[in-house]
């Protein structure tokens, strides 16, 4: 396979485009037909052979434009000379710089980069190393020798040529460094983004810096989209399982009793009915933020949510999500804007009593109750009997605690007293934890 095409396919794969061997061979055959002469024709031909989904087509377009970029050395070197006599005795790279041979410089640089395997670059710390290797392979030592010899010659014209070469040397180094920077983004951008995403998925949300909030929201949107796509698909009729005898007899009456077309019983899939009760005190606020973004990003077709928040008292916020976009709704909830919630000391005593008196009817045998909080009650009455009542009425009571297990039951934590009434009790303080909880709700 053509080396340039091979490097381009490697770039696409590292950027997240799935390319099979057969698709690579299709691209090679397309290249044999169209060649490199017509840039637009080449792009369209490879586009058809290699890009499939809308996302892959977007990645392909960006990678192609950057991979086949020839914008380097586009500006002429400083004090460019057009006199042939001034380049006599100079190395190839020196002559190219003095005459402003942009195609020659680009070719030299790309050949040197390929010889030094620049496609293996992965980290920012490798930029200087690869830049120096490419410069040496292009002939930087010969350029330095020319500058030194011209200065030593002592003639005014030689000194002037040496000064021009010194400026041209800076021009060369700057363009090579820019090229290495561009290739770093091209070859490792996707892997770097993936590394950052893995880091953000596993970091404790309580330790998350605010500068990562925007990236976290993007990760959540992708996770939610995947779950929506997975669980919103229409189910095909069952092909095996328990035989539906009545339906089979009814459908085969036309065959005079011969059971040519068996029918199978279908399992009725009910949409999860969730009541989320979230602690918005300072110790849990970040986890609640991303949990609500996650939960309300899911389609209403696959999940029903009724949400409550509490700190010193309890308030329902379901209507906030119906009036405002998700991000704005979450911001208003955390700020307590137009919500009758007291943002003082956490009080599970009053919270559970409020829920029992005003909202207990929302819990049925089909309801999954999600409690999100650290169970730190400031030494108030824990109201375990009320939690027991909720547990007996609901389908499942899931408690998500952002604290690690060794801290449960220490100090003012009532977690060990609440634990007997929880069907599921999990440590939950990362994005991966949240995803697993939501997936468990959506399992059919």
pLDDT digits (tens, 9 = 90+) for 318-366: 989 888 888 888 888 877 778 888 888 999 999 999 999 999 999 999 8
Give yes or no for a contact between 398 and 426, defined as CB atoms under 8 angstroms apart: yes
382-426 pLDDT per residue, tens: 999 999 999 999 999 999 999 999 999 999 999 999 999 999 999
Residue 55 banded pLDDT, cuts 50, 70, 90: confident
**Unique residue bearing structure tokens 């027991």:** 388
What is the pTM for the complete model shown? 0.60
Predicted local confidence at residue 267, as pLDDT: 58
Could you tell me the two tokens for 20? 């099979």
Residues of the chain by 3-state class (helix, strand, coil), percent to 5: 60, 10, 30
Residue 301 banded pLDDT, cuts 50, 70, 90: low
More confident residue, 262 or 64: 64
Predicted local confidence at residue 266, as pLDDT: 66
Of 7-16, 123-132, 288-297, the least confident: 7-16
Residue 82 banded pLDDT, cuts 50, 70, 90: very low
CATH of domain 273-442: 3.40.50.410
Q: What is the DSSP string of 381-411?
A: ---HHHHHHHHHHSSEEEEEESS-GGGTTST
98-145 pLDDT per residue, tens: 888 888 888 889 889 889 988 788 788 888 999 999 999 999 999 999
Could you tell me the two tokens for 350? 């009053």
Predicted local confidence at residue 74, as pLDDT: 67
Residue 340 CA, distance from chain mean position: 36
Query: For 297, how many CA atoms within 13 A lie in the half-sphere containing its CB?
Result: 24
* 235 pLDDT higher than 60: no
**How far apart, in whole angstroms, are the C-alpha atoms of residue 160 and residue 18?**
54
* 295 pLDDT higher than 60: yes
């Amino acid at each position: 396979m053509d080396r340039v095409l091979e490097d381009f396919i490697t770039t696409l794969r590292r950027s997240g485009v799935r390319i099979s061997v057969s698709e690579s061979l299709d691209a090679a055959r397309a290249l044999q037909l169209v060649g490199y002469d017509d840039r637009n024709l080449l792009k369209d031909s490879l586009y058809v052979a290699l890009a499939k989904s809308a996302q892959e087509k977007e990645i392909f377009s960006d990678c192609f434009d950057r991979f086949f970029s020839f914008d380097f050395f586009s500006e002429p070197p400083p004090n460019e000379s057009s006199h042939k006599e001034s380049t006599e005795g100079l190395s190839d790279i020196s002559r190219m710089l003095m005459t402003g041979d942009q195609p020659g410089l680009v070719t030299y640089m790309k050949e040197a980069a390929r010889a030094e395997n620049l496609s293996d670059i992965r980290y920012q710390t490798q930029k200087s190393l690869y830049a120096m290797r490419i410069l040496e392979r292009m002939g930087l030592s010969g350029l330095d020798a020319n500058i030194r010899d011209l200065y030593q010659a002592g003639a005014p014209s030689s000194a002037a040529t040496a000064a021009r070469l010194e400026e041209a040397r800076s021009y060369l180094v700057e363009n090579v460094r820019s090229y290495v920077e561009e290739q770093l983004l091209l070859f490792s951008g996707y892997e770097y983004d993936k590394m950052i995403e893995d880091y953000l998925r596993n970091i404790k949300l309580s330790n998350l810096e605010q500068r990562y909030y925007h990236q976290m929201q993007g990760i959540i949107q992708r996770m939610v989209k995947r779950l929506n796509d997975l669980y919103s698909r229409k189910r095909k009729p069952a092909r095996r399982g328990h035989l539906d005898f009545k339906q089979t007899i009814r459908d085969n009456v036309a065959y005079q009793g011969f059971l040519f077309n068996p029918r199978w019983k279908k399992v009725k899939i009910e949409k999860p009915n969730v009541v989320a009760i979230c602690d918005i005190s300072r110790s849990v606020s970040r986890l609640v933020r991303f949990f609500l973004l996650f939960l309300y990003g899911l389609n209403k077709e696959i999940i029903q949510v009724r949400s409550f928040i509490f700190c010193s008292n309890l308030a329902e916020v379901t209507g906030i999500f119906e009036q405002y976009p998700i991000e704005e709704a979450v911001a208003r909830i955390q700020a307590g804007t137009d919500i009758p919630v007291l943002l003082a000391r956490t009080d599970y005593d009053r919270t559970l009593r409020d829920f029992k008196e005003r909202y207990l009817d929302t819990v049925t045998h089909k309801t999954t109750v999600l409690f999100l909080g650290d169970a730190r009650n400031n030494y108030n009455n824990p109201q375990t009997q009320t939690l027991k009542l909720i547990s007996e009425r609901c389908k499942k009571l899931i408690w998500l605690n952002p604290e690690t297990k060794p801290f449960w039951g220490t100090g003012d934590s009532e977690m060990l007293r609440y634990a007997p009434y929880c069907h599921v009790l999990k440590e939950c303080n990362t994005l991966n934890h949240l995803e697993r909880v939501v997936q468990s709700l959506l399992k059919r």
